[in-house]
Amino acid sequence: MADDDFFKSQRERMVRVQIASRGIKDPRVLEAMRRVPRHLFVPKVHRHLAYADGPLPIGAEQTISQPYIVALMTELLNLQGGERVLEIGTGSGYQAAVLAYLAGQVHTVERFADLAKQAEQTLKALNIQNVQVHVGDGTLGLPEFAPYMGILVSAAAPSAPEVLLEQLAEGGILVIPVGQRSNQVLERWQRTGDQFQSKPILSVAFVPLIGQAGWQE
Ligand code: SAH
Protein backbone atom coordinates (compact mmCIF):
# COMPACT_ATOMS: atom_id res chain seq x y z
CA MET A 1 0.00 0.00 0.00
CA ALA A 2 1.36 3.45 -0.88
CA ASP A 3 2.19 5.81 2.00
CA ASP A 4 -0.69 8.12 1.14
CA ASP A 5 -3.25 5.30 1.22
CA PHE A 6 -1.79 3.98 4.45
CA PHE A 7 -2.08 7.34 6.21
CA LYS A 8 -5.52 7.93 4.72
CA SER A 9 -6.83 4.68 6.18
CA GLN A 10 -5.26 5.58 9.54
CA ARG A 11 -7.09 8.91 9.41
CA GLU A 12 -10.41 7.22 8.63
CA ARG A 13 -9.85 4.98 11.61
CA MET A 14 -8.86 7.92 13.84
CA VAL A 15 -12.11 9.70 13.01
CA ARG A 16 -14.22 6.60 13.59
CA VAL A 17 -12.56 5.28 16.77
CA GLN A 18 -11.41 8.45 18.56
CA ILE A 19 -13.64 11.25 17.34
CA ALA A 20 -17.09 10.20 16.06
CA SER A 21 -17.35 7.54 18.78
CA ARG A 22 -16.82 10.24 21.45
CA GLY A 23 -19.70 12.34 20.22
CA ILE A 24 -18.33 14.75 17.61
CA LYS A 25 -21.20 15.05 15.13
CA ASP A 26 -20.66 18.06 12.85
CA PRO A 27 -20.15 16.40 9.45
CA ARG A 28 -17.96 19.27 8.25
CA VAL A 29 -15.64 18.86 11.24
CA LEU A 30 -15.43 15.09 10.70
CA GLU A 31 -14.63 15.68 7.03
CA ALA A 32 -11.89 18.20 7.87
CA MET A 33 -10.34 15.69 10.31
CA ARG A 34 -10.44 13.05 7.55
CA ARG A 35 -8.73 15.36 5.10
CA VAL A 36 -5.91 17.14 6.90
CA PRO A 37 -2.74 14.98 6.75
CA ARG A 38 -1.75 15.17 10.41
CA HIS A 39 1.41 13.11 9.79
CA LEU A 40 2.88 16.03 7.82
CA PHE A 41 2.57 18.31 10.87
CA VAL A 42 4.51 16.09 13.30
CA PRO A 43 8.29 15.60 13.34
CA LYS A 44 9.44 12.67 11.17
CA VAL A 45 10.51 10.58 14.18
CA HIS A 46 6.92 10.61 15.50
CA ARG A 47 5.22 10.15 12.16
CA HIS A 48 4.22 6.56 12.88
CA LEU A 49 2.26 7.89 15.89
CA ALA A 50 0.59 10.75 14.02
CA TYR A 51 -2.88 9.15 14.19
CA ALA A 52 -2.59 7.78 17.72
CA ASP A 53 -5.01 8.91 20.44
CA GLY A 54 -2.79 11.50 22.18
CA PRO A 55 -0.68 14.66 21.95
CA LEU A 56 2.83 14.56 20.42
CA PRO A 57 5.96 16.69 20.87
CA ILE A 58 6.64 19.22 18.08
CA GLY A 59 9.83 20.85 19.42
CA ALA A 60 10.46 23.87 21.68
CA GLU A 61 8.81 21.83 24.50
CA GLN A 62 5.44 22.25 22.78
CA THR A 63 2.87 19.67 21.69
CA ILE A 64 0.32 19.11 18.96
CA SER A 65 -2.99 18.39 20.73
CA GLN A 66 -4.75 15.03 20.79
CA PRO A 67 -6.92 14.66 17.63
CA TYR A 68 -10.15 14.41 19.65
CA ILE A 69 -9.40 17.71 21.41
CA VAL A 70 -8.70 19.42 18.08
CA ALA A 71 -12.04 18.15 16.75
CA LEU A 72 -13.93 19.12 19.92
CA MET A 73 -12.53 22.66 20.07
CA THR A 74 -13.24 23.10 16.38
CA GLU A 75 -16.82 21.86 16.70
CA LEU A 76 -17.43 24.23 19.62
CA LEU A 77 -16.76 27.19 17.29
CA ASN A 78 -19.82 26.16 15.26
CA LEU A 79 -18.37 27.41 11.97
CA GLN A 80 -20.66 27.57 8.94
CA GLY A 81 -18.03 28.58 6.36
CA GLY A 82 -16.69 31.99 5.37
CA GLU A 83 -15.94 33.30 8.87
CA ARG A 84 -12.76 35.11 9.94
CA VAL A 85 -11.23 33.24 12.87
CA LEU A 86 -8.22 33.62 15.14
CA GLU A 87 -6.08 30.89 16.67
CA ILE A 88 -3.56 31.58 19.44
CA GLY A 89 -0.67 29.10 19.55
CA THR A 90 0.07 27.97 15.98
CA GLY A 91 2.52 25.24 17.03
CA SER A 92 2.72 22.83 14.09
CA GLY A 93 -0.10 24.55 12.18
CA TYR A 94 -2.33 21.46 12.33
CA GLN A 95 -5.24 23.10 14.16
CA ALA A 96 -4.99 26.08 11.80
CA ALA A 97 -5.20 23.71 8.81
CA VAL A 98 -8.35 22.10 10.21
CA LEU A 99 -9.88 25.56 10.73
CA ALA A 100 -8.87 26.53 7.19
CA TYR A 101 -11.24 23.89 5.81
CA LEU A 102 -14.17 25.26 7.79
CA ALA A 103 -13.72 29.04 7.85
CA GLY A 104 -13.02 31.77 5.31
CA GLN A 105 -9.84 33.25 6.73
CA VAL A 106 -7.67 32.00 9.58
CA HIS A 107 -5.20 34.18 11.46
CA THR A 108 -2.92 32.29 13.80
CA VAL A 109 -0.36 33.72 16.26
CA GLU A 110 2.74 31.92 17.60
CA ARG A 111 5.32 33.29 20.01
CA PHE A 112 8.19 31.13 18.72
CA ALA A 113 9.39 32.34 15.31
CA ASP A 114 10.89 28.91 14.48
CA LEU A 115 7.59 27.09 15.00
CA ALA A 116 5.73 29.78 13.05
CA LYS A 117 8.10 29.42 10.11
CA GLN A 118 7.88 25.64 10.08
CA ALA A 119 4.06 25.78 10.26
CA GLU A 120 3.98 28.28 7.42
CA GLN A 121 6.08 25.94 5.26
CA THR A 122 3.87 22.94 5.99
CA LEU A 123 0.71 24.90 5.16
CA LYS A 124 2.27 26.18 1.95
CA ALA A 125 3.34 22.68 0.88
CA LEU A 126 -0.31 21.63 1.28
CA ASN A 127 -1.44 24.61 -0.77
CA ILE A 128 -3.59 25.93 2.10
CA GLN A 129 -3.92 29.60 1.21
CA ASN A 130 -6.38 31.03 3.72
CA VAL A 131 -4.13 30.87 6.79
CA GLN A 132 -1.94 33.79 7.81
CA VAL A 133 0.72 33.01 10.44
CA HIS A 134 1.82 35.85 12.72
CA VAL A 135 4.66 35.93 15.26
CA GLY A 136 3.93 37.65 18.57
CA ASP A 137 2.19 37.55 21.94
CA GLY A 138 -1.24 36.11 21.17
CA THR A 139 -2.61 36.83 24.65
CA LEU A 140 -3.31 40.29 23.22
CA GLY A 141 -5.17 38.82 20.25
CA LEU A 142 -4.74 40.40 16.85
CA PRO A 143 -6.66 43.70 16.85
CA GLU A 144 -5.71 44.51 13.20
CA PHE A 145 -8.10 41.89 11.85
CA ALA A 146 -10.76 41.87 14.62
CA PRO A 147 -13.61 41.14 15.09
CA TYR A 148 -13.61 37.35 14.80
CA MET A 149 -16.55 34.96 14.74
CA GLY A 150 -14.31 32.40 16.42
CA ILE A 151 -11.21 32.53 18.59
CA LEU A 152 -9.51 29.26 19.53
CA VAL A 153 -6.73 29.30 22.11
CA SER A 154 -4.41 26.27 21.88
CA ALA A 155 -2.58 26.94 25.18
CA ALA A 156 -3.79 27.28 28.76
CA ALA A 157 -4.47 30.63 30.43
CA PRO A 158 -5.10 31.56 34.10
CA SER A 159 -8.41 33.08 32.92
CA ALA A 160 -10.08 34.10 29.65
CA PRO A 161 -8.24 37.31 28.64
CA GLU A 162 -10.61 40.26 28.35
CA VAL A 163 -8.74 41.59 25.31
CA LEU A 164 -9.63 38.37 23.47
CA LEU A 165 -13.30 38.53 24.46
CA GLU A 166 -13.40 42.10 23.18
CA GLN A 167 -12.18 40.94 19.77
CA LEU A 168 -15.20 38.65 19.31
CA ALA A 169 -17.85 39.67 16.78
CA GLU A 170 -21.54 39.66 17.76
CA GLY A 171 -22.45 36.01 18.41
CA GLY A 172 -18.77 35.06 18.22
CA ILE A 173 -17.33 32.18 20.25
CA LEU A 174 -14.07 31.87 22.21
CA VAL A 175 -12.79 28.40 23.13
CA ILE A 176 -9.99 28.37 25.71
CA PRO A 177 -8.47 26.08 28.37
CA VAL A 178 -8.53 27.93 31.69
CA GLY A 179 -7.11 27.02 35.10
CA GLN A 180 -3.81 25.92 36.66
CA ARG A 181 -0.54 25.63 34.78
CA SER A 182 -0.80 21.83 34.67
CA ASN A 183 -4.55 21.12 34.37
CA GLN A 184 -7.48 23.13 33.18
CA VAL A 185 -11.10 23.22 32.12
CA LEU A 186 -11.96 23.87 28.50
CA GLU A 187 -14.37 26.83 28.39
CA ARG A 188 -16.65 28.07 25.63
CA TRP A 189 -17.53 31.77 25.73
CA GLN A 190 -20.12 33.46 23.55
CA ARG A 191 -20.70 37.16 22.98
CA THR A 192 -24.19 38.68 22.83
CA GLY A 193 -23.92 42.48 22.66
CA ASP A 194 -21.76 43.43 25.64
CA GLN A 195 -22.60 40.23 27.51
CA PHE A 196 -20.31 37.20 27.64
CA GLN A 197 -21.62 33.80 28.67
CA SER A 198 -19.27 30.97 29.53
CA LYS A 199 -19.78 27.25 29.80
CA PRO A 200 -17.33 24.61 31.11
CA ILE A 201 -16.88 21.72 28.69
CA LEU A 202 -14.19 19.25 29.75
CA SER A 203 -11.07 18.75 31.90
CA VAL A 204 -7.93 19.13 29.80
CA ALA A 205 -4.13 19.55 30.09
CA PHE A 206 -2.52 22.10 27.76
CA VAL A 207 0.92 23.71 27.67
CA PRO A 208 0.85 27.20 29.23
CA LEU A 209 -0.05 30.36 27.33
CA ILE A 210 2.93 32.61 28.05
CA GLY A 211 2.52 36.36 27.74
CA GLN A 212 1.05 39.58 29.00
CA ALA A 213 -2.47 38.27 29.63
CA GLY A 214 -1.26 34.70 30.28
CA TRP A 215 1.41 33.09 32.48
CA GLN A 216 4.87 34.48 33.20
CA GLU A 217 7.72 32.66 31.46
N1 SAH B 1 -2.36 24.35 17.83
C2 SAH B 1 -1.04 23.74 17.79
C3 SAH B 1 -0.57 23.24 19.13
C4 SAH B 1 -0.21 24.34 19.99
S5 SAH B 1 0.78 24.02 21.41
C6 SAH B 1 -0.98 22.64 16.78
O7 SAH B 1 -1.99 22.33 16.15
O8 SAH B 1 0.11 22.08 16.59
C9 SAH B 1 0.64 25.64 22.07
C10 SAH B 1 1.41 26.69 21.31
O11 SAH B 1 1.11 27.94 21.90
C12 SAH B 1 2.91 26.52 21.39
O13 SAH B 1 3.46 26.45 20.11
C14 SAH B 1 3.37 27.78 22.14
O15 SAH B 1 4.63 28.25 21.72
C16 SAH B 1 2.26 28.74 21.80
N17 SAH B 1 2.10 29.89 22.70
C18 SAH B 1 2.21 29.94 24.05
N19 SAH B 1 1.98 31.19 24.49
C20 SAH B 1 1.71 31.96 23.38
C21 SAH B 1 1.39 33.33 23.19
N22 SAH B 1 1.28 34.20 24.19
N23 SAH B 1 1.18 33.75 21.92
C24 SAH B 1 1.29 32.91 20.87
N25 SAH B 1 1.60 31.60 21.01
C26 SAH B 1 1.80 31.13 22.25
Give the per-residue pLDDT at 1.
Answer: 59
- C-beta of 56 in contact with ligand 1 (< 6 A): no
Distance CA 153, CA 46 (A): 24
Q: In the β-sheet with 131-135, what is the strand arrangement from edge to edge? A: 131-135, 105-110, 84-88, 148-153, 168-179, 184-192, 195-204
The stretch 153-167 carries a mean pLDDT of 97
The domain spans of the chain are 54-204
Distances (CA, A) of 212 to 61, 125, 132, 163, 209: 20, 33, 22, 11, 9
Q: What is the Cα 152 distance to its own chain's centre?
A: 6
pLDDT at position 114 over 70: yes
CATH 3.40.50.150 fits 54-204, yes or no: yes
The stretch 112-138 carries a mean pLDDT of 98
Output the CA 209–ligand 1 centroid distance in Å.
7
The stretch 96-111 carries a mean pLDDT of 98
Considering the chain, what is the average pLDDT of its residues?
A: 97
Q: What is the pTM of this model?
A: 0.98
Output the CA 23–ligand 1 centroid distance in Å.
26
**Which are the catalytic amino acids?**
65
pLDDT at position 2 over 80: no
Coil, strand, or helix at residue 59? strand
In this structure, which amino acid lies at residue 30? Answer: L
- C-beta of 118 in contact with ligand 1 (< 6 A): no
Output the CA 51–ligand 1 centroid distance in Å.
20
- C-beta of 155 in contact with ligand 1 (< 6 A): yes
